[in-house]
Amino acid sequence: GAVVSQHPSRVICKSGTSVKIECRSLDFQATTMFWYRQFPKQSLMLMATSNEGSKATYEQGVEKDKFLINHASLTLSTLTVTSAHPEDSSFYICSARVSSGENIQYFGAGTRLSVL
């Protein structure tokens, strides 16, 4: 199956630091990528939809200036948590949808962010 690589897998940072997470589709092109957040013992919540070459679409309640998303190529989307605070500590997971129109999302392994 298609492979999505997410990096880094773990980040520990001080409050006020900005953190960038990368999501790459390794063997397919993805015009659309999705970013999810998962708090402990809760389910995944969609944060935003990332479209190659255009602005991301954010879900209600997600601050676009806080969570910057860039999808500059068909194989790479990045999520930057700006000026991270302890309440941003969470598990962030990306997924990619194959451009051919297949209605399947392939998931990265996730990034655990801990803000001290």
Partner 1 sequence: KQEVTQIPAALSVPEGENLVLNCSFTDSAIYNLQWFRQDPGKGLTSLLLIQSSQREQTSGRLNASLDKSSGRSTLYIAASQPGDSATYLCAVMDSSYKLIFGSGTRLLVRP
In degrees and rounded to multiples of 5, residue 104 shows phi and psi of -130, 140
Instruction: Determine, following the binding rule CB under 8 A, whether residue 54 of this chain makes contact with partner 1.
Output: no
Cα four-point dihedral sign 94, 96, 97, 103: negative
Q: Rounded to the nearest whole angstrom, what is the least distance from the CB of residue 46 to partner 1 in the complex?
A: 6
The answer to whether the CB of 105 falls within 8 A of the CB of 3 is no
Of 52 and 91, CB closest to partner 1? 91
Cβ of residue 32: shortest distance to partner 1, in angstroms? 7
CB of 1 to partner 1, least distance (A): 8
- Write the interaction track for partner 1 spanning residues 76-115; mark x where CB under 8 A is met and - where it is not: ---------------x-x-x-x-----xxx-xxxx-x---
How are beta strands 10-13 and 90-97 bridged, if at all? Answer: unpaired
